[in-house]
Amino acid sequence: MNKAKTLDEKLLDLLMEDGTQSAAGLAEIVGASPRTVQRALKRLMADGKIEHVGSNRFGHYIVK
């Protein structure tokens, strides 16, 4: 069984700890490109797991 967490799971965990992270900051933490993290965040928003609050530049994500 694969115990490695998916990128989505890692991002959810990080956002639960600190929702003020930017996509670029999250990318640095998980070791993925900012674009990959942006796609994952978009997927999580589409699934209704997270929500983006605030402006595009200064907003943050919250876990629902």
Here the CATH number for the domain that contains residue 16 is 1.10.10.10
- Whether 34 maps to a domain, the answer reads yes
Structural domains counted in the chain: 1
- Whether 22 maps to a domain, the answer reads yes
- Whether 1 maps to a domain, the answer reads no
Using 50, 70 and 90 to split pLDDT, how confident is the model at 3? low
Higher pLDDT, 58 or 1: 58
Using 50, 70 and 90 to split pLDDT, how confident is the model at 2? low
Which pLDDT score, from 0 to 100, does residue 18 have? 86
Structural domain harbouring 12: 7-63
Task: Write down the pTM of the prediction.
Answer: 0.85
Q: How far apart are CA 34 and CA 9, in angstroms?
A: 16
The answer, yes or no, to whether residue 29 has pLDDT greater than 60, is yes
Higher pLDDT, 23 or 39: 39
Cα-based torsion angle of the residue sequence 24, 30, 33, 37 in order, rounded to the nearest 10 degrees: -70
CB 7 within 8 A of CB 30: yes
